C-alpha cells in the first residue's frame, strides 16, 4: 500500500503540473501565432505601399512612352533638315523600338490588358510608318513622310489607338491609386 500511496502522491503533484504545462504551452503558442500574424500583416501593408508606388511609376512610364511615340510628338523630335524618307523612317522605327525596350520591365506591374494594349499600339505605329513610307520614294524629302503621317493622324475616324491606350492607362492608374490609398 505504501507504493500505491506514493504513486498517488506523485500523481497529485505531477498531474496538475502537466495540465499547467499544457495550458501554458497552448497560451504561449497562441500568443506567438497571433504576434506572427500581426507582423505578417504589418509587413504586407508595408510592402503594399511600395507595390502601389511601383505600379504607379509603371503607369507613368507607359503614359510617357505612349506620348513620346505619338506621331505629333515623335516626328518633329526625330526630323532633321535634309533627311530622306528612308532616313526618317529608320530613325522613327529606331526611336519607337528603343523607347519600348526601355519600358519592357513595366509589364510586371500592370495588367495584361494594359500591356497588350501598349504593345499593340507600338506595333500599329510601326506599321503606320512603314505603310506610309512604302508609298513614297526612299530618296524623297522626309518632309513628305512627316506630312503624310500628320494627314493620316488627322484623317483617322474616331480616336487614335494611342489615345485609347492612354485613357486605359490613366483609368487603371486611378484605380490603383484609389484602392492603394485606401489600404495604406
At residue 47, the pLDDT reads 63
Query: Which of 96, 109, 98, 104 lies closest to 58, judged by CA?
Result: 109
Looking at residue 141, the DSSP 8-state letter turns out to be B
Average of pLDDT values for 120-149?
95
Q: Which three cell numbers stand for residue 119?
A: 504593345
pTM: 0.72
Which CATH code is given to the segment(s) 2-183?
Answer: 1.20.120
Cα torsion through 122, 127, 133, 138, rounded to 10: 90
Mean pLDDT of 163-168: 93
Residue 84, helix vs strand vs coil:
strand
pLDDT band at 69 (very low <50, low <70, confident <90, very high): very high
Picking from 85, 75, 71, 78, the residue whose alpha carbon sits closest to that of residue 135 is: 85
Taking only the tens place, the pLDDT of each residue in 74-118 is 999 999 999 999 999 999 999 999 999 999 999 999 999 999 999
Q: Who wins on pLDDT, 179 or 70?
A: 70
Strand-pair partners of 141: 84
Query: Is 150:71 a contact under the CB 8 Å cutoff?
Result: yes
Say yes or no to pLDDT of 2 above 80. Answer: no
User: Mean pLDDT score of the chain, rounded to an integer?
Assistant: 88
Percent of the chain with pLDDT over 90: 58
pLDDT for the residue 41: 72
Residue range 13-26: average pLDDT? 85
65 and 100 Cβ atoms separated by less than 8 Å: yes
pLDDT band for position 183 (50/70/90)?
very low
In the chain, alpha helices (H): 2-69, 71-78, 85-102, 112-134, 142-155, 161-183
Share of residues in the chain with pLDDT > 70 (%): 95
Q: Give Cα 114 to chain centroid, integer Å.
A: 9
Q: Do 128 and 74 contact (CB within 8 A), yes or no? A: no
Amino acid at each position: 500500500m505504501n507504493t500505491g500511496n506514493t504513486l498517488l502522491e506523485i500523481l497529485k503533484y505531477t498531474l496538475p503540473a502537466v495540465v499547467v504545462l499544457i495550458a501554458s504551452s497552448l497560451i504561449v503558442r497562441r500568443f506567438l501565432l497571433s504576434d506572427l500574424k500581426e507582423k505578417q500583416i504589418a509587413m504586407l501593408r508595408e510592402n503594399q505601399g511600395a507595390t502601389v508606388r511601383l505600379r504607379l511609376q509603371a503607369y507613368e512610364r507607359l503614359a510617357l512612352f505612349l506620348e513620346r511615340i505619338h506621331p505629333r510628338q515623335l516626328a518633329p523630335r526625330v526630323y532633321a533638315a535634309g533627311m530622306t524618307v528612308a532616313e526618317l523612317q529608320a530613325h522613327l522605327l529606331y526611336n519607337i523600338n528603343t523607347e519600348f525596350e526601355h519600358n519592357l520591365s513595366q509589364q510586371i506591374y500592370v495588367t495584361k490588358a494594359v500591356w497588350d494594349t501598349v504593345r499593340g499600339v507600338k506595333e500599329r505605329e510601326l506599321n503606320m510608318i512603314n505603310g506610309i513610307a512604302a508609298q513614297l520614294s526612299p530618296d524623297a524629302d522626309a518632309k513628305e513622310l512627316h506630312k503624310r503621317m500628320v494627314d493620316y493622324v488627322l484623317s483617322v475616324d474616331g480616336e487614335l489607338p494611342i489615345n485609347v491606350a492612354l485613357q486605359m492607362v490613366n483609368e487603371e492608374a486611378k484605380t490603383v491609386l484609389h484602392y492603394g490609398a485606401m489600404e495604406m
